[in-house]
Structure 1
Amino acid sequence: MSQIDTTANLTAEEVMRARASVRQYKRDVAIPQETLNEILELAAAAPSSWNLQQWRFLVIQKQEQKDLILPIAYGQKQVSDASAVVVVLGDLQAHVTGREIYEAAARDGYVPKDVADNLIKQIEGAYGIEQVARDEANKNAGLAAMQLMLAAKAKGYDTVPMGGFDKAKLVEALNIPPRYIPVMMIPIGEAATPARPSGRLPLSQLVINESF
């Protein structure tokens, strides 16, 4: 039975519990474009600060492109073997999108114009601070990345989040504009071997009630 069949119709809780970081993938497995688009659409439904959707998905499926970035990822084979690699980018200039979003919302009557103008002013003020722009890019791209991995699992595919790559070389190799920063790579595909077991700390070590 294929991996696609065994993960069909999982509940949200089952998807969360089933997701694990897989590092070995079956080569030459193509994800149907419709399915990949559904995964990306679900990922793009993630929440974001001011609804600015500070993520972009750079999708790599051609084998020569995956092989191009293999040395940039320090030879980690999942980059070459997986069906696709999604480079999750963070947008350092999301205030531009904010103006587009809220001007359109005011024009279409979804938001009063004075509210839209105030939100645009807030956003542009915040994005005038370089560290805020960078923090927001990383934080919100991370939300979309997690949702992408859960969406992939719900569709029967495995993933692994990767921060181990040379960001400067990736930017150069893939012609990534300075507006965007690579946050992580996420290979997607069918597992060749299961994920290694990993423990989780108990809630007694993770949860602080009310105050330290």
Structure 2
Amino acid sequence: MDTLEAIQQRRSVKHYDPDHRMSSEEIQTLMNHVILSPTSFNIQNWRFVVVQDPEVKQQLRGAAWGQAQVTDASIVVLVCADLLAWDQEPERYWRNAPESVQEQLVPMIGKFYAGNDQLQRDEALRSSGIASQTLMLAAKAMGYDSCPMIGFDPVQVAEIVNLPPTHIIGLMVTVGKALKPAQGRSGSLALSEVMVIDRY
């Protein structure tokens, strides 16, 4: 499946085959593609909690107001981000770059993010969103369906998975085999309503 086809076919699926299990190799393949997602300054600030354990999924379902896709999907991926990734040995993000590039970019990282909590949070959510889309398109290309979710209690979910205090949850994405297809597209806006050329 090519990228454009995956974009066209990706839908938010709510009903999954609860008996289907993704293999560890499939999960590894999926996530190896997700971590190719871009991040500002290459800080790779996304963090992923891949939940397979039925007991943990049941707890997450409770924190997601009983939504069945949380337990029925093969995996639940909590797309999180480390707010302080920019300050964690930033030279490692550029270790394969030419020395001149390292000398230019690595010092810029701290200057850009230090002392700016809002920017750190904004960056975390941007990176989470980009990675989530990569996750859903890669899943579709692999023959799986997905559903991005914000319908959950983030404090409760963080407690369930022991999320470090410097991390935040961007969203939850379920991945699995669709039991039935998503409903038809319910009301896409026309491109002319959401796009302008050059300026408003």
Distance 1:187 1:163 in 2: 11
> Runs of 5+ in structure 1 lacking a partner?
1-9
Equivalent in the alignment of 2:93: 101
Distance 1:91 1:164 in 2: 21
Distance 2:93 2:40 in 1: 13
Equivalent in the alignment of 1:202: 190
Equivalent in the alignment of 1:32: 23
Alpha-carbon displacement from aligned partner over 1:20-64 (angstroms, at most 9, x marks no partner): 000111112101111111111111111111111121110000111
**What percentage of residue pairs aligned between the two structures are identical?**
37
Amino acid at match of 1:134: R
Quick check: 202-211 or 148-157, which moved more?
202-211
Alpha-carbon displacement from aligned partner over 1:157-210 (angstroms, at most 9, x marks no partner): 000000111111111111100121111110100111111112321111111011
Distance 1:37 1:50 in 2: 25
Contact 1:126 1:133 in 2 (8 A): no
Distance 1:19 1:97 in 2: 37
- Number of paired residues? 197
Q: 2:111 aligns with which of 104, 120, 125?
A: 125
Amino acid at match of 2:59: L
Distance 2:183 2:65 in 1: 20
Contact 2:58 2:71 in 1 (8 A): yes
Q: 2:173 aligns with which of 174, 179, 186?
A: 186
User: How far is 1:121 from its partner?
Assistant: 2.2
Equivalent in the alignment of 1:171: 158
Taking only aligned residues, the RMSD between alpha carbons, in angstroms, comes to 1.3
Distance 1:118 1:164 in 2: 42
> Runs of 5+ in structure 2 lacking a partner?
none
Equivalent in the alignment of 1:47: 38
